[in-house]
Structure 1
């Protein structure tokens, strides 16, 4: 007779549980919005993020020289994918109508590198090629900078590669090139598909890869090229950190056994793509080419690759640290104020399941923080980028998806930092101690890693192993394996991918919240 009432109570328990958590969530939200100090401080965090971000952007000015006058810097060169690129090389080419290709034998690759001067006033130039120096064959949409292309090349230290449209890189066989051990290179067009091959003897060919360049015109340019990016020198600062400088280099490729397939008519043309012209009309570090019978010598400078030089669009978000500190203060006070005034007993009386009560408090705080941070970061990022460009800065372009990831990801980082601070407040129960601890584990590692205080290796490990890893969400320009660069935190590059960095921050937050729940259950209020 008593069984039916017992089953009815058992079925209604989950419904009460769900309603109970919603009630707790509403109670925590009501608690937050009715304390004027918390609302004012959270609003101030959003306003400070915007205000200091826009002021920071307004203080960044840049100009470029044009003879005796200064002018606005030109916008960055953009490749087919919308990314900023370098497209500077020497090109010996002919028009190719329709399908066809080119086959060459590369017999040597030499060059020179400008090193730091040993004797003041005396140029220190040494023979050699840099690791990503390039010499090979190319099919390019046109000689216009930034136009689509595919190339098969020999590099200084990375063997044979096939690259296309600046960001794509496929490795061929490793090794070098010499007259005793030449390298055969081949690039074939069939419609919009270009296929690269290599051979050690010109008889047995190995396919490296293919590239699909949609929208290629009927007539393209086919030929031989050479390019040589600057020699990167990284120096350590007196207080830690590092700086970098790129010095002039050039590379010369020697080609013979040049064979064209298809309708490649007309005479060979020499073009120094992207050469810098001084105000007096002279070329700065020009390339060159020579021909003796069937042997071509092509010397080039510059690079054909994505560029990482310029102002990144997240520059204005440096002010986010100030807003984040205010968020930390609010988050800690959201729990420690209850301990200080003895209100925690009432909170736990209303929600006797302590873990659920703390989870509701954390969710309410996280949602409030995310809602406040999202528009603040969006305004700072968008308006700050516009101000940087208006002030003459060359701001590197990024895709809409990347912009959305930065804005949403940084708002999520704010929310995680708030919940982590709440957990520390629960564990320590002292406002000052919890605020200092939260700043020490979230803000301080980022400051130390990005302000030339620590060596690069220590800075990278700090941003891998602390909650500050989540700041990787604001990195807009990726690290390219085929572009030599100073990929250090001081230059805006983080050791973890954006979402992996945020996952580290989320992991610390979950761990701290779990410890807080455990302690709350085992300790009297």
Structure 2
């Protein structure tokens, strides 16, 4: 079938002229302008209102106080730095070698998979200071970790009296090498890291820590429910070789109950060269604060208003018969739809970008004013969240426009667009479907684009509820946006093909 060709002479359908014509249409219809304004107002209004009303506090005895802020690590990230450390000073280069004969998590039921016991070189005894450690864990074998965020796997297995693990840390300037061995003779390097700016004198020794067990299951009416048990980890060390023989002990980050003693028992004993070290807490990124995108709940409601405008931007012309007039302006029909997409996508992006940037800028101080802690992120991450969220809305507008052009009916197009963008996310809040289903939907549907809004990464060595409801997505941020872009481009291509090949 030969596609439609306008009888008008060339020169009447310049793409710039089509864009200007579509821009004139958009700004001339009060309902469309009102819908876009509603999107922006909803983003700003709902975001700032929720931030203003959000409060957080802690109890100190019978007194309500502001919750203490977590320490910051070497790279400015919020961290958890709580463990028991049997240590001694090390000046200059040196090493420590131990044999771990036992590592227990002391959990009555289940396990604490990231309970750990091992050896560490730490900048100083302050929370958040730089460190490197090689350790045995309850369920993840030998690991080398440094500066809270970085984790390298060694060989699997938990040490026991029958199968002990030898561990070694060696300092050479700013470079720390972690090694493991089955017999203390043949060594395997787990990792070699550089701790920039490490002082001449550091602390070196044995440690133990346990974040406890965590069980995550579906809640009765949607979402998830968590339960767990706190208990210290215990490591047994012998064959200890260190620069000196004098040892000190530090319960790093110990919290005290109202009566005074620490909440969980930590400590160590020494018996004929055998060290038994117990400690609770964790040495890892802190993930319990508000994410950078916490001020943007209004995006979801604003998206609905945007979809209505985007679908109507093309279906109104079909309903009123105006599409024939629009197509007379261009010999190539598809260019009309591309001009609509260009105008609507550009206007949506600019308007959303301003609204989102304003909401984040105003919302963060409001959250902090209510005693809430916002997890710090690099400026580049905050920019990516702001610009990426605006891009998601712009691509949603293009996708909705294309769906409207395919169906040519406002109600059908609106319901379809809302379904493919919002339904996969809403499914994550229900307990009806298995956990894998919403994870799969957020990989293969346009809703995958919301991954670009994730401000805090998922850390493999921190066991937590990494669900979309908590701001975590199954795809990396840019990969998710690419999925949405592909859907928008493919749907627009289909709409252009249909418009070019069929009568109105």
Q: TM-score, length-normalised on structure 2?
A: 0.95
Distance 2:148 2:11 in 1: 56
1:181 corresponds in structure 2 to 163
2:414 corresponds in structure 1 to 435
1:277-296 matches, cutoff 5 A = 277-296=256-275
1:12 corresponds in structure 2 to none
- Secondary structure (helix, strand or coil) at the match of 2:428 reads helix
After superposition, the CA RMSD in angstroms is: 1.8
2:5 corresponds in structure 1 to none
1:78 corresponds in structure 2 to 72
Q: Give 1:518 deviation, angstroms.
A: 1.4
Q: Give 1:310 deviation, angstroms.
A: 2.3
2:175 corresponds in structure 1 to 193
The answer as to 2:395 corresponding to 1:405 is no
- Secondary structure (helix, strand or coil) at the match of 2:92 reads strand
1:153 corresponds in structure 2 to 135
Q: Give 1:241 deviation, angstroms.
A: 3.5
1:73-472 matches, cutoff 5 A = 73-113=67-107, 125=108, 130-261=112-243, 264=244, 267-450=246-429, 454-472=433-451
Higher deviation after alignment, 145-154 or 313-322? 313-322
2:7 corresponds in structure 1 to none
Note if contact 1:110-1:129 (Cα within 8 Å) is conserved in structure 2: no
Distance 2:478 2:46 in 1: 26
Q: Deviations over 1:231-270 (max 9, x none)?
A: 0111222234321133212211111111114xx5x73111
Q: Give 1:443 deviation, angstroms.
A: 1.9
1:70–1:451 CA distance, 2 compared to 1 (3 A): farther
Note if contact 1:449-1:463 (Cα within 8 Å) is conserved in structure 2: no
Q: Deviations over 1:126-156 (max 9, x none)?
A: 5x85221111100000110111000010111
Q: Give 1:165 deviation, angstroms.
A: 0.3
Note if contact 2:105-2:138 (Cα within 8 Å) is conserved in structure 1: no
Distance 2:503 2:21 in 1: 22
Q: Deviations over 1:398-422 (max 9, x none)?
A: 1111111111111000001101110
Distance 1:325 1:343 in 2: 25
1:7 corresponds in structure 2 to none
Distance 1:443 1:197 in 2: 48
- Secondary structure (helix, strand or coil) at the match of 1:340 reads helix
Q: Deviations over 1:276-300 (max 9, x none)?
A: 1123322111311000121111001
1:451–1:477 CA distance, 2 compared to 1 (3 A): farther
2:4 corresponds in structure 1 to none
Q: TM-score, length-normalised on structure 1?
A: 0.91
1:3 corresponds in structure 2 to none
* Number of matched pairs: 495
Gaps of 5+ in 1: 1-15, 114-124
Q: Give 1:173 deviation, angstroms.
A: 1.4
